[in-house]
Structure 1
């Protein structure tokens, strides 16, 4: 493999693994903050036990997320030094604020939340949990501000061939950020909710600590349903934004080689032949693409061949501006399909809970246990579409991926680091899954009638 391919593979592998934990941490701490608040308002011990129990899994996720996140910034210097030199003036501000403000805010109030439990009023503990949740969301905001610049460069002037930031507020009001940020946060809330829901469903199947896990399950499914609906709306806004900002990505996500005509049909599935630049067959839904793109029954969408010619005039000939169509096409459908399935499962769960028949439906509980994987797959597919669909650019319209790779890194360097990183991440992943299963099986109490000390730093619960 070429150095560029190895560098891209390494970054994809490490970033995907890191992004398993980011949305999980954001979603879990949001649910924990709700439980802390319910304890303050309702004064029921069960809500305190819930906050402490789910807080254990949050801390596991947060710790591994921090470790894996540090590596992402190191890789900019190791494998993508040319990219770092090109965007350094722009990236410095949001990444510094993320580290100095958001991360320290999270760390500080995690300390207050854990160690102030028996020393501070319970409303202060609840407030500290909300401030941790706010810190995780702010951290996502600054990271996404940097990523949105890569998708749609704003607030800069080109000096000596490099972008120089001249309007900081433009980064925060970037149209790409305004649609990407809410979509990512709602996806994170759904992730945390489905993990809580899946673990709760498992314990309901086993008929353990029923009151505890019924309450946890109900909260998680309410959050999941609300988040799922908001994911759909924010995703729709993002698709409409792509029509003007990155039409090639939009066309690739539909495997649209030729101009669609008016009205535009949406391909549910297609047999894509990228070599011949056509679809051998497809199942289309009339009018659907016009609705997706314009909120109208009318409107045409340009195909990739037309956009390729437009880009050649704008950015120069001799470059293939069409991304890997099969990857973009199917990742979009996996993301949207699993997102829709999560909404259906949340609705069904809340319906049967209201009817008080949920626990009489073991098939649904088993499906919900397996469905813990759904948000992780959907999140990953969404980011794959976002990043692959931008190719061949690292900074859209300004700097290509081929220009970004470090010139002095060898294939041997990359192979060694890929093996080292992936091996380390495999070990971390196994530890995370093992510890989560251990905490979930142990439950919040030692026995069905005896309440145990569910302190967040319970050494026995985390003992390997």
Structure 2
């Protein structure tokens, strides 16, 4: 493998690993905020206990997400310096806002929430967690704005003197039509993860404490998580449908690769199962739904979807136009032999994303059914439901990102810069291998720490109720301390 391949592997490993924590953090921050608000409204001890319990799980994931997220921005300078030099003016602006505005908002008020028990007024304290949640959502918005520019570059102009793309309209970048459909899809999928996580954890604890006085608390939390995941999943389906139509408009090759559609077809079918050739040049559909791909891409079952073979020529022509327009002073636009993404990876990542999402919906519906009328699931089969259901939407999110990024290849910025053009010219294959292996090893250690911490606090369950001290009784001179 050359430096481009290894750099791509490194970025894929670190990004997918980091993104495991992102939807959990967004979803759990909403769960904690809701439980905390319910405590203020009802003063029921169970709500305070669940607030602190889910708060611990949130903090574990937030810490790991923070540590692993820092690495992402370093890679732009280490392995992708030509990319950063060419589009850094546009790509860096929303990332700067994410760090200076959104991240500081969530981290500052999370600290106040952690140390604020009994020190600040209760309503203000609960409001801190809502601000944390708003901060996580804003972080998602700014990061997705940067990524949406890579999918559909807007709001820029090319400077022939510097050979760089420069910001021309920041509002256009923030309101990119790809961004406007991607953001609700990603956030609602994060809510789906948060609901499934609290459902799975609470279901496991419900089986464990099914005959104790804590059973009603865990049953309510289980059903709350299942409802949250189901409602969010319906929003994911709707936003995903809209996103598919925009994707077909701006990146027709990605939609064609998602189906393995090689010839332009009207009333194009969607295959549930397909077998392709080893070189990715053709596909045999075994199970298919007529017209469904046309509907997903165009909104009509009779719509025409362009095939890979026809799009190859238009993609190459687009690359040649870009190279001719920018001239040799760009020096970074590397033309490639094939403008088709890896079809098997694009095809199956699309289906894993949808399949795991629908599996989550089915599991949540089953849990709501079995826990009705104060029911407690006794079969050991439900242990697997409790364990696997939270993992399903997490991996569905990951497969969705793999599809989004792999389906754009060989472009790093679609129609503007190929991936081969963005790699750092002075970084050797050996250097990238060393950094990739080092990061992978560190992340493996962090994974063990994360899983052990998470499982330890899940097994403990919610702590016994302790009546919180009033703000008026707090000793303002006492040192801050935090122990979970």
TM range (shorter): over 0.9
Q: Are residues 1:429 and 2:437 paired?
A: no
Q: Show CA shifts across 1:230-278 (max 9, x none).
A: 1111111111111110000000000001112x32211111001152611
Cα distance, 1:11 vs structure 2: 0.5
Larger CA deviation: 274-283 vs 406-415: 274-283
CA distance in 2, matches of 1:119, 1:90: 42
In the alignment, what sits opposite 2:248?
Answer: 243
Task: Kindly indicate whether the alpha-carbon contact (under 8 Å) linking 1:444 and 1:454 is maintained by their aligned counterparts in 2.
Answer: no
Structure 2-normalised TM-score? 0.90
3-state SS of paired residue (1:359): coil
Of 310, 319, 327 in structure 1, the residue corresponding to residue 314 of structure 2 is 310
Q: SS at the partner of 2:305?
A: coil
Instruction: From the superposition, tell whether residues 458 and 97 of structure 1 become closer, same or farther in structure 2 (CA, over 3 Å).
Output: closer
> Which residue among 285, 288, 293 is the counterpart of 1:289?
293
Equivalent residue number for residue 175 of structure 1: 177
Which of 236, 240, 252 is 1:231 aligned to? 236
Matches within 5 A, 1:29-178: 29-160=29-160, 161-178=163-180
1:68-102: per-residue Cα shift (whole Å, max 9, x none)? Answer: 11100000000000011011111222111111110
1:265 and 2:269 matched = yes
Q: Secondary structure at the match of 1:52?
A: helix
Cα deviations by residue, 1:273-311 (Å, 9 ceiling, x for unpaired): 152611134321112112212232211211001111112
Q: 1:297 to 1:266 in 2, by over 3 A?
A: same
Matches of 1:454 and 1:391, distance apart in 2: 54
Contact 2:206 2:218 in 1 (8 A): yes
Which deviates more, 197-206 or 223-232? 197-206
Whether contact under 8 Å (2:87, 2:165) holds in the other structure is yes
Q: Who is 1:402 aligned against?
A: 420
Q: Where do residues 378-389 of structure 1 align in structure 2 (5 Å cutoff)? A: 378-389=396-407
Farther-moved stretch of structure 1 (369-378 vs 249-258): 369-378
2:9 corresponds to which residue? 9
Tell me which residue corresponds to 1:201. 203
Moved more, 414-423 or 289-298: 289-298
Q: Deviations over 1:139-178 (max 9, x none)?
A: 1110110000000001111112321111111011100101
Of 362, 367, 383, the residue aligned with 2:385 is 367
Asked whether the equivalents of residues 49 and 465 of structure 2 are also in contact (C-alpha less than 8 Å), the reply is no
TM-score relative to the length of structure 1: 0.94
Task: Determine the C-alpha separation between the residues in 2 that align with 1:371 and 1:356.
Answer: 21
Aligned-pair CA distance for 1:207: 2.1
Question: The residue matched to 1:221 in structure 2 has which SS?
Answer: helix
SS at match of 2:180: helix
Q: Name the CA shift for 1:318/1:109 in 2 (closer, same or farther; >3 Å).
A: closer
Unaligned runs of 5+ in 2: 321-334, 470-479
Alignment length, in residue pairs? Answer: 455
Higher mean C-alpha deviation, range 158-167 or range 387-396: 158-167
8 Å contact from structure 1 (residues 190, 375) kept in 2: yes
RMSD: 1.9
Question: Residue 339 of structure 1 aligns with which residue?
Answer: 357
Match of 2:220 in 1: 215
Structure 2 CA distance, aligned partners of 1:374 and 1:153?
A: 32
Q: Aligned residue for 1:415?
A: 433
- Runs of 5+ in structure 1 lacking a partner? none
Distance 1:276 1:213, change over 3 A: closer
CA–CA separation in structure 2 for the residues paired with 1:358 and 1:315:
60
Structure 1 residues 2 and 144: alpha-carbon distance in aligned structure 2, compared to 1, 3 A threshold: same
The secondary structure found in structure 2 opposite 1:228 is helix
Instruction: Assess if the C-alpha contact under 8 Å between 1:52 and 1:454 holds in 2.
Output: no
Partner of residue 323 from structure 1, selected from 324, 341, 344: 341
Q: Distance in 2 between matches of 1:300 and 1:358?
A: 50
Residues 252, 323 of structure 1: 8 Å contact kept: yes
- Given that 1:53 and 1:454 are in contact with CA atoms closer than 8 Å, whether structure 2 keeps it comes out as no
Q: Quote the residue 2:328 is aligned against.
A: none
Deviation of residue 314 (structure 1)?
2.1
1:354 match: 372
Once the two structures are superposed, residues 333-374 of structure 1 have per-residue CA deviations (whole angstroms, 9 ceiling, x without a partner) of: 000011011111112222333343342555335323222210
Q: Is the 8 A contact 1:194 1:375 kept in 2?
A: yes
Q: 345-354 or 175-184, which moves further after superposition?
A: 345-354
SS at match of 1:280: strand
Distance 1:9 1:357, change over 3 A: same
- Matches of 2:103 and 2:280 in 1, distance apart? 48
Whether contact under 8 Å (1:202, 1:366) holds in the other structure is no
Query: Matches of 1:319 and 1:154 in 2, distance apart?
Result: 26
Instruction: Return closer, same or farther for 1:406/1:454 CA change in 2, 3 Å cut-off.
Output: farther
